[in-house]
C-alpha cells in the first residue's frame, strides 16, 4: 500500500504578510487539475468517501483543521493524518478511501484529475476487491 499514496510537501511562499501556498498542476502534483471540491462541516463521527475511482487521481489537502484518510488497496490499509496546510496526500486510481475524524475547523480541499463522472466511482467494496483482484493478476 505504501507505494499507492504519496505525501507531498508544498512550499510556502509566505512572508511577513502571511503564508502563501501554491499548487501547480503537472508541477507540484503529478496531474493537471480538472476539478476542485472541498468538504467542511462534517461531524467527528462522519465517514465520507467510501469509494474507489477507476480513472481519477486526487490530491487532498486539509487547508484548515485536520482529518484522517484510510487508504485500502484491497489487501493492505494505511492511515494518513492530514494536519498541515502545506501537506498534500496524492492518491492514484484504484484505491479505496475513507475520510473521517474531521475536526470542527476542517476544510478538506480536493484536487482531481478528471471531471465528475459517477460511472468511474466504485461504491461497492466487494466490487472494488473484485476489480483490483482482476487487474493485479
Ligand atoms: P460523495 O462522493 O458522497 O462525496 P465524498 O467523496 O466527499 O464522500 O458525493 C456526494 C454527492 O455529490 C454525490 O451525489 C455525488 C455528488 N458529487 C458531484 O456531483 N460532483 C463531485 O465532484 C463530487 C465529489 C460529488
- In this prediction the ipTM stands at 0.94
| 26 C-alpha to ligand 1 centroid (Å) | 24
Our answer to whether residue 51 is catalytic in this structure is yes
Which single residue is written with the C-alpha cell 477507476? Answer: 54
Q: Give the binding-site residues of ligand 1, using a 6 Å CB cut-off.
A: 35, 37, 39, 48-49, 116
Ligand 1 atom having least distance to the Cα of 116: 22
Phi-psi region of 39 (alpha: psi -120 to 50; beta: other; left: phi over 0): beta
Coil, strand, or helix at residue 16? coil
Identify the active-site residue in 6, 8, 50, 51. 51
Query: What average pLDDT is seen over the chain?
Result: 96
pLDDT tens, position by position, 53-99: 999 999 999 999 999 999 999 999 999 999 999 999 999 999 999 99
Residue 137, pLDDT above cutoff 90: no
Write down all domains in the chain, each with its CATH number in brackets: 6-135 (2.60.120.10)
pTM across the whole model: 0.95
Amino acid at each position: 500500500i505504501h507505494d499507492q499514496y504519496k505525501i507531498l510537501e508544498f512550499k510556502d511562499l509566505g512572508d511577513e504578510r502571511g503564508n502563501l501556498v501554491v499548487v501547480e498542476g503537472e508541477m507540484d502534483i503529478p496531474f493537471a487539475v480538472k476539478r476542485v471540491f472541498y468538504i467542511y462541516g462534517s461531524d467527528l463521527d462522519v465517514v465520507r468517501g467510501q469509494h474507489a475511482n477507476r480513472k481519477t487521481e486526487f490530491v487532498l489537502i486539509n487547508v484548515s483543521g485536520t482529518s484522517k484518510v484510510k487508504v485500502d488497496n484491497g489487501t493492505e490499509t494505511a492511515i494518513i493524518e492530514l494536519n498541515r496546510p502545506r501537506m498534500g496526500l496524492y492518491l492514484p486510481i484504484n484505491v479505496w478511501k475513507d475520510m473521517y475524524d474531521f475536526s470542527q475547523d476542517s476544510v478538506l480541499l480536493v484536487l482531481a484529475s478528471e471531471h465528475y463522472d459517477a460511472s468511474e466511482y466504485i461504491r461497492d467494496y466487494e466490487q472494488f476487491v473484485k476489480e483490483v483482484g482482476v487487474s493485479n493478476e
